[in-house]
Amino acid sequence: MSTLAIDNIGLLVTNDPELRSVRDAALVLDGDRVAAIEPEGAAADERIDAAGRCVIPGFVDSHTHLVFAGDRAEEFAARMAGARYAAGGIRTTVEATRAASSEELRALAEQRRQEALRAGITHLEIKSGYALDVDGEARLCSIASELSDDVTFLGAHVVPAEYEGRSDDYVDLVRGEMLAACAPHARWIDVFCEEGAFDADQSRAILEAGRDAGLGLRVHANQLGEGPGVQLAVEMGAASADHCTYLTDADVEALAASSTVATFLPATDFSTREPYPDARRVIDAGATVAIATNCNPGSSYTTSMSFCIALAVREMHMTVEEAIEAATLGGATALGRDDLGHLRPGARADAVILEAPSPAHLVYRPGVPLIATTISSGRPS
């Protein structure tokens, strides 16, 4: 395989606890892996001149819903006019997604994946959850698996209309026939543990079935209010509890004492007008945190991790360095991946050249397109 040197880097952010950031560096890639970090002028078969700009690890987006059809712009406009977000809006997307062909869904998901890549996201997780029937959820997981090896089965997104008043029957379907159909395409199982979706007992039953099927666990937790989601995630050893908008002191203590990552989704709080969580409180307690986009049509229709980073610093009391790490290494940790989110030798060759001298510009210049080049598995785009 040929080697590629990203040379003349003004500031290289490695996320290596020993190296941290390196000035006046070259990043040498060998195929799809990081080979070395060297001084400027490193030898390689090919060369990209970073021209003194900053290079960071590629963003790792550990929470997305890319496979869907339809649009909910009117719902968003209503929220901006004062309406409150409710979980039931998911059914609107379910109807549109069920009606779409596989070719349409595949094309739409690929467009969003390419948009995310241009925004510096070199790896992402993709959930199902917009079909809520056996064949449909299997279809979504299969399409997602064409774009990522981190696919999450989310049949427990909300109770579909045809099961209104029979939520326990739907839980039985999710943990039985639907899980069996989706597990071959998935690495993870997730549940929306929230009022208006699934209660703690239902969520536990679904997660237990997923674990028995060999899937890792994730939980949508504490988005709309204080609830059992975070505690359930910690109790069951879930890799991540996502949203974490409303946290009690006990929730924070539980996260800090566990390996469960607190994944914040600040663009969702922006879109739903919920209060921003205090990430400072969680970090200071000792918990591991991540930032993700939660790209979906109802509550966070963005693929901009830069936007999420700016919100995290401005509204959630994170430093720039903490937010960058949460959007890279934190996301990788939430996905149980040690090959992503850092630029140590042996890591996957995922990096971003910023049109800026430091990552602080992602916050300092919000809304400005500062992703100059995305390098995914050693391939510039």
Contact 265, 292 (CB under 8 A): yes
Q: Report how far residue 84's alpha carbon sits from residue 225's, in angstroms, rounded to the nearest whole number.
A: 13
Checking if the pLDDT of 189 tops 90, the result is: yes
pLDDT score of 131: 98
Contact yes or no for 233/260 (Cβ under 8 A): yes
Tell me the H-state helices in the chain.
73-80, 90-99, 102-118, 134-145, 167-173, 179-182, 200-212, 229-235, 249-256, 266-272, 279-285, 305-316, 320-325, 331-334, 361-364
Least confident segment among 108-112, 120-124, 151-155, 271-275: 271-275
- Angle 134-145/90-99 helices, nearest 10 degrees? 80
Say whether 175 sits in a helix, a strand or coil: helix
Strands 151-156 and 126-127: parallel
**pLDDT score recorded for residue 6:** 98
Which tokens is 308 given? 């999420």
How far apart CA 224 and CA 205 sit, in angstroms, is 22
Task: Tell me the C-alpha distance between 342 and 345, whole Å.
Answer: 9
pLDDT for res 147? 98
> Is residue 340 helix, strand or coil?
coil
**The two structure tokens encoding residue 165:** 């008043």
Cα 352 to Cα 53: distance, rounded to the nearest angstrom? 10
Whole-angstrom CA distances from 44 to 26, 101, 105, 325 are 10, 46, 40, 28
Q: What is the pLDDT of residues 242-261, one digit of tens each?
A: 999 999 999 999 999 999 99
pLDDT (0 to 100) of residue 83: 86
Q: For residue 89, what pLDDT is reported?
A: 83
Q: Per residue in 255-292, pLDDT tens? A: 999 999 999 999 999 999 999 999 999 999 999 999 99
Segment 40-57, tens digit of pLDDT: 999 999 999 999 999 999
CB 153 within 8 A of CB 189: yes
* Res 230 pLDDT > 90: yes
Q: In this structure, are residues 53 and 372 in contact, taking their beta carbons and an 8 Å threshold? A: yes
- For 50, 64, 109, 201, 236, the CA distances from 188, given in Å and listed in that order, are 37, 13, 19, 19, 14
Give the Cα separation of 318 and 322 in Å (integer): 6
The proportion of the chain whose per-residue pLDDT surpasses 90, expressed as a percent, equals 95
pLDDT higher at 81 or 100: 100
CB atoms within 10 A of CB 195: 12
Determine the 3-state secondary structure of 293 from DSSP.
coil
Which two three-digit tokens encode residue 307? 């936007």
What percent of the chain is predicted at pLDDT more than 70? 99
Give pLDDT, residue 309.
98
Residue 87: its H or E element: none
DSSP character for 292?
Answer: -
* pLDDT confidence of residue 87: 61
Tokens representing residue 328 in the block? 């890279």
Amino acid of residue 206:
I
Q: What 3-state class would DSSP assign to 341?
A: coil
Q: What is the DSSP letter of 339?
A: S
pLDDT of residue 213: 98
Binning pLDDT at 50, 70 and 90, where does residue 88 land?
low
DSSP 276: P
Encode pLDDT of 306-343 as tens digits: 999 999 999 999 999 999 999 999 999 999 999 999 99
Among residues 149, 148, 61, the alpha carbon closest in space to that of 328 is found at 61
Question: Rounded distance, CA 42 to CA 221, Å?
Answer: 47
